[in-house]
Structure 1
Amino acid sequence: MGYFDVVVLEPNTGEAAPRVKSNAKGNLQLNADFEGGNLGSVKALSDFEYELSIRGDTGAPKYRLWFHFKVSNCKAGQRVLFSIINFSKQRSLFREGMAPLVSSSSRPKWERIPSKNTFYYRAPRINNAYVLSFVFVFDKEEDVYAFSYSYPFTYTHQQKLLAELEWKKLPHVQRRLLVRSVQQRRVDMLLVTDPTTNGTCRKHCVICCSRIHPGETPASHCMTGYINYITGNSPEMVELRKTTLFVVVPMLNPDGTFLGNYRTCSLGTDLNRMWTHPGEMTEPTLRATKDMMQWYHDLDDVDVDLVFDMHAHSTASTGFLLCNPPLDKSESGYERVSVFPQLLAENARDFSLDACRFCDDPAKLGSGRRALGLVLPKAMIYTLELSFFPTAGDSTAAPTTDEGYERFGEQFGRTIVQYYRMGYEGSDTASSPSSTPYSQASPVKSGLASPVSGAVQSDSRPDRQPVHPSRRASAQYSG
């Protein structure tokens, strides 16, 4: 969390006094000492201008992008100029019209500050570094205002949603404790399938995880929409659950999320570079998740077909997928990997097939997509990147809200239904298509960008003993 709970700004002196209360209206009180909060320092430059610095990630101060702070003790009509001066990334969607978000205690719904009041520019006084400045007018003295880089989504909120889902006692949904984080927070796993068909057929398996980078909050909003869809009662999902197991790990980095970090966990590690050899003590969430995926992969009656890791991208203006190049380098091999991205491009707003690409960049060997490709060689493994400001370069388009990211998650789930109904991975649902439009989908051809250099290698780990299906309720994955 933030380094201070309250800073009172005295405009006449330009000094910041931590943990001092002032009743004089207009002496703004800034607070980042709450879950997901981030602000490092504040300085008053004049009666209306304030210079802010982001707190670097815990143990990794080079990562500075996420901010979330609150302001109180304002005057009605008080105009301020906030300038954030120390972003670690210079390229930014602020150059494309993105603006910070604001909410208040009487208006909790997040809204974007008008783009005309937001400026992203090089500042000679700060070594020509990029600065984000935005003008804001406080209109209610009794309100507490909050400002944020993107739509917040806290660990506590995630736990609340999972508890509400568990309370419904849906027969096709199980919530289990996968592992606890370094700071002993829950890392939950959802299992979604029709239990009446367990043991009667070989089941397909779709695994989806999210929020390995705590500042990438759109991924959690997307995951919420996805969970709502796959646990819902739409006819197509009820049918697909008979032959498919959905496994969801909604928050891989609860510690970093709670602390208000942008990219790292509580130990200062970028977890998405640690998938190759995650430590049981240092990266327990990755270790348990990777072992879980391998466990399902080894079952005799489960086929792990699709694996997705949800992220958000700070410079892309549209959503896209990163794909592992196939082991089969033929045209048909590339087409097989390209099917899902093309279907998603047909179904989802704020997603571009042209932006998707095959990628085996050696610098990303430790990422989930690359490392899991070695232990799950038969699965299609993708990184989903959502844009923080998805306009696809169209300045007239309405930017996506938190509800928009949830709708994307639902569209993502519908695309999985379409994928199986078209018969990919040998799904037996293709032999009895329903009357929905998905059953009428036509074959598609590869349209992804060519892969970069290198090749996907086969798994070099020693063979693991397969686990009998009767052990599916193993204590390792029970709550």
Structure 2
Amino acid sequence: ILLEYQLGRWVPRLREPRDLYGVSSSGPLSPTRWPYHCEVIDEKVQHIGWTPSFPEPVYIPTGLEMEPLYPNSKEDTVVYLAEDAYKEPCFVYSRVGGNRTPLKQPVDNCDDTLMFEARFESGNLQKVVKVAEYEYQLTVRPDLFTNKHTQWFYFQVTNTQAGIVYRFTITNFTKPASLYNRGMRPLFYSEKEANAHNVGWQRIGDQIKYYRNNQGQDGRHYFSLTWTFQFPHNKDTCYFAHCYPYTYTNLQEYLSSINNDPVRSKFCKIRVLCHTLARNMVYVLTIATPLKNNDSRKRKAVILTARVHPGETNSSWIMKGFLDYILGDSSDAQLLRDTFIFKVVPMLNPDGVIVGNYRCSLAGRDLNRNYTSLLKESFPSVWYTRNMIRRLMEKREVILYCDLHGHSKKENIFMYGCDGGDRCKALYLQQRIFPLMLSKNCPDKFSFSACKFNIQKSKEGTGRVVMWKMGIRNSFTMEATFCGSTLGNKRGTHFNTKDLESMGYHFCDSLLDYCDPDRTKYYKCLKELEEMEKHINLEKVLDDSDTSLKEVTLDLESSSHGSDSSESNDSQTYLLKLSSQV
């Protein structure tokens, strides 16, 4: 401990972040804690890593897809029923393993009925009704202690029969628009395929349709997702998911591997930033080459965070790709560690991740609207993250902050930034340079034309806006689609985990370009942005005002509630869309 004399009193500070305590080389860092009433099965769900040999195409609608509507019939068979999300009015306390009473058992598999299960880490499924011999109506569980945010699903299916066309329909989504109507397919995993052929998660499904149904609640209409599928094996254990799962246990095992590595642990220090409401640990990583005694450089800082929204698992895969690269042995990774200090919070909302929430913490609130909150006990992870960044800024310049997210309505990967309506031309253009560089480094994944930089009042509690107001000029949210790309060679295909992980590398590559002492690339991008600005000014003069309003409205609707997503009527919409033409 280092004592510093500040404002008339001694203040204790850690000389550097401590290594993790309680780390076992043979297992997770700490037991996973659940709300006390949650039922949790003993079986530990694990999946192999795998990348398809060929890009997986999006689904092309035939126009003949069915729209099943299910009346509330008491004659149908309920084959799975979990506890309500709001069985308890609020979070009370947590326990390792959750509820200690004997688990309710599902129906006996005495016939050909499929068996369902989701009482495992990150699982989400509320109810399953068998409506026909091979047809099942499903509902997903809202975020705990809320009655909304139904988007994430992840569940197990057993007692399968090969060659049978099954239909699954999830009937309680609340978003009117979905990537499932733009070609996105559900994810499927077969344990027999994994064991026999080393095949992991794959995109599947036919007759896929997302549509408004005949149900609703509290004045809200519900929407259904339906698909058909044939299982590859009899008596298999299979899983369906909205996106590639990445659990809190996955993170802890990854951090354990770093901590037990004699090389990586020298320049990656892991400590506990805080504890969540359920007393799970929120970790912060400090990544930098240790300075020698005679080296007095004051390095600038870069901050990355992820998984404030638990259902946006794609953000964890991007984070993993970033960490794999920055902790690697390449010369560029070494240069980045020599040049910067990286502060990384890889999972801001572990409680939500554990229980299978889509958006909220156990406070029943969206943490990414509460970065301005003073309620440390209610929102500890964002409170301590903001405080950590504020203290860091007292010591050194933070050149970039980026919060990683997933997006449910748009394809590709893109960024939201902040300009606050500042019409200072130099600042206005500079804030767009890093996203433009990123689009050049991965043109088949990252869309500069989808980036926006306005600040809506409803977004003032988000991480990127709060950090920008604290003085970080380059403050971004990176949004990754749940679906895939409309760009280049990847057009019309889904992103897989390797695609998402590669964005971590491209982020590092773009950071090197942005801070390169040779400013050639920087000024080339600045020049390109200036040319775009000239085009947009010309468009404003020549373009029909009705068309402009239509374009702005479409952008507003497509970003609404997709994620952190600024609902933006950014006047630079045309500027951004011209990027590919200049």
TM-score, length-scaled by structure 1: 0.84
Alignment partners' CA distance in 2, 1:277 and 1:218: 27
Offset, 1:443? 4.0
1:354 match: secondary structure: helix
Q: Deviations over 1:92-135 (max 9, x none)?
A: 00011001100011234100114x44222333577984321111
1:207-246, aligned counterparts within 5 Å?
207-246=303-342
2:164 matched residue in structure 1: 78
Is this contact kept in 2: 1:92–1:315, CA < 8 A? yes
Offset, 1:23? 3.8
Is this contact kept in 1: 2:416–2:451, CA < 8 A? yes
2:287 matched residue in structure 1: 192
2:70 matched residue in structure 1: none
Gap change, CA 1:233 and 1:314, over 3 Å in 2: same
Is this contact kept in 2: 1:215–1:261, CA < 8 A? yes
Gap change, CA 1:443 and 1:396, over 3 Å in 2: closer
Gap change, CA 1:305 and 1:217, over 3 Å in 2: same
| Structure 1 residue corresponding to 2:347, chosen from 233, 247, 251 | 251
Deviation beyond 4 Å, 4+ runs, structure 1:
1-6, 124-129, 393-396, 438-441, 447-454
Alignment partners' CA distance in 1, 2:367 and 2:522: 41
Alignment partners' CA distance in 2, 1:291 and 1:323: 21
| Structure 1 residue corresponding to 2:241, chosen from 111, 126, 148 | 148
2:67 matched residue in structure 1: none
Instruction: Please tell me whether residue 442 in structure 1 is matched to residue 524 in structure 2.
Output: yes
User: Which residue identity does 1:338 align to in structure 2?
Assistant: R
Is this contact kept in 2: 1:212–1:272, CA < 8 A? yes
Alignment partners' CA distance in 2, 1:214 and 1:53: 19
Unpaired runs of at least 5, structure 1: 7-11, 422-429, 455-479
Gap change, CA 1:159 and 1:125, over 3 Å in 2: closer
User: Which residue identity does 2:202 align to in structure 1?
Assistant: E
2:128 matched residue in structure 1: 42
Deviation larger for 443-452 or 325-334: 443-452
Q: Deviations over 1:75-103 (max 9, x none)?
A: 33333100011101120000110011000
Instruction: Please tell me whether residue 113 in structure 1 is matched to residue 204 in structure 2.
Output: yes
1:157 matched residue in structure 2: 250
Deviation larger for 68-77 or 318-327: 318-327
1:359 matched residue in structure 2: 454
2:305 match: secondary structure: strand
Offset, 1:24? 2.5
Output the aligned Cα RMSD: 2.7
Alignment partners' CA distance in 1, 2:343 and 2:204: 37
Alignment partners' CA distance in 2, 1:453 and 1:75: 52
2:371 match: secondary structure: coil
Gap change, CA 1:254 and 1:129, over 3 Å in 2: closer
Instruction: Please tell me whether residue 59 in structure 1 is matched to residue 145 in structure 2.
Output: yes
Instruction: Please tell me whether residue 418 in structure 1 is matched to residue 517 in structure 2.
Output: no
2:186 matched residue in structure 1: 100
Is this contact kept in 1: 2:267–2:290, CA < 8 A? yes
User: Which residue identity does 2:227 align to in structure 1?
Assistant: F
Alignment partners' CA distance in 2, 1:226 and 1:398: 23
1:71-470, aligned counterparts within 5 Å?
71-108=157-194, 109-114=200-205, 116-124=206-214, 129-169=222-262, 170=264, 171-197=266-292, 200-299=296-395, 302-325=396-419, 329-348=423-442, 349-375=444-470, 377-392=471-486, 397-421=492-516, 430=517, 442-444=524-526, 445-446=528-529
2:511 match: secondary structure: helix
TM-score, length-scaled by structure 2: 0.70
User: Which residue identity does 1:408 align to in structure 2?
Assistant: M
Offset, 1:350? 1.5
Deviation larger for 256-265 or 316-325: 316-325
Alignment partners' CA distance in 2, 1:314 and 1:378: 27
Offset, 1:61? 1.7
Gap change, CA 1:20 and 1:132, over 3 Å in 2: closer
Deviation larger for 289-298 or 236-245: 236-245
Gap change, CA 1:242 and 1:86, over 3 Å in 2: same
Alignment partners' CA distance in 1, 2:372 and 2:327: 31
Percent of aligned pairs sharing the same letter: 30
Is this contact kept in 2: 1:326–1:333, CA < 8 A? no
Q: Deviations over 1:307-344 (max 9, x none)?
A: 00000100011211111106863111111111101100
Offset, 1:383? 0.8
Is this contact kept in 1: 2:513–2:522, CA < 8 A? no
Is this contact kept in 2: 1:178–1:188, CA < 8 A? yes
User: Which residue identity does 2:484 align to in structure 1?
Assistant: P
Q: Deviations over 1:172-217 (max 9, x none)?
A: 1111111111111111111111103575211010000000000001
User: Which residue identity does 1:400 align to in structure 2?
Assistant: F
Gap change, CA 1:17 and 1:150, over 3 Å in 2: closer
Offset, 1:234? 1.4
Deviation larger for 78-87 or 257-266: 78-87
Is this contact kept in 1: 2:485–2:494, CA < 8 A? yes
User: Which residue identity does 2:139 align to in structure 1?
Assistant: S
Offset, 1:393? 7.7
Deviation larger for 311-320 or 19-28: 19-28
Number of aligned pairs?
432
| Structure 2 residue corresponding to 1:29, chosen from 115, 134, 143 | 115
Is this contact kept in 1: 2:408–2:481, CA < 8 A? yes
User: Which residue identity does 1:442 align to in structure 2?
Assistant: K
Alignment partners' CA distance in 2, 1:180 and 1:224: 22
1:462 matched residue in structure 2: none
Is this contact kept in 1: 2:79–2:116, CA < 8 A? no
Q: Deviations over 1:240-293 (max 9, x none)?
A: 322210111000000000010000001211000000124221111111111100
Gap change, CA 1:257 and 1:226, over 3 Å in 2: same
2:76 matched residue in structure 1: 14
Deviation larger for 119-128 or 200-209: 119-128
2:419 match: secondary structure: coil
Deviation larger for 219-228 or 442-451: 442-451
User: Which residue identity does 2:204 align to in structure 1?
Assistant: I
Deviation larger for 327-336 or 82-91: 327-336
Is this contact kept in 2: 1:358–1:452, CA < 8 A? no
Offset, 1:57? 0.5
Gap change, CA 1:202 and 1:328, over 3 Å in 2: farther
1:84 match: secondary structure: strand
Deviation larger for 199-208 or 220-229: 199-208
Q: Deviations over 1:18-62 (max 9, x none)?
A: 524524251211001000010111111111111001110011221
Alignment partners' CA distance in 2, 1:402 and 1:297: 34
User: Which residue identity does 1:118 align to in structure 2?
Assistant: I
Is this contact kept in 1: 2:326–2:336, CA < 8 A? no
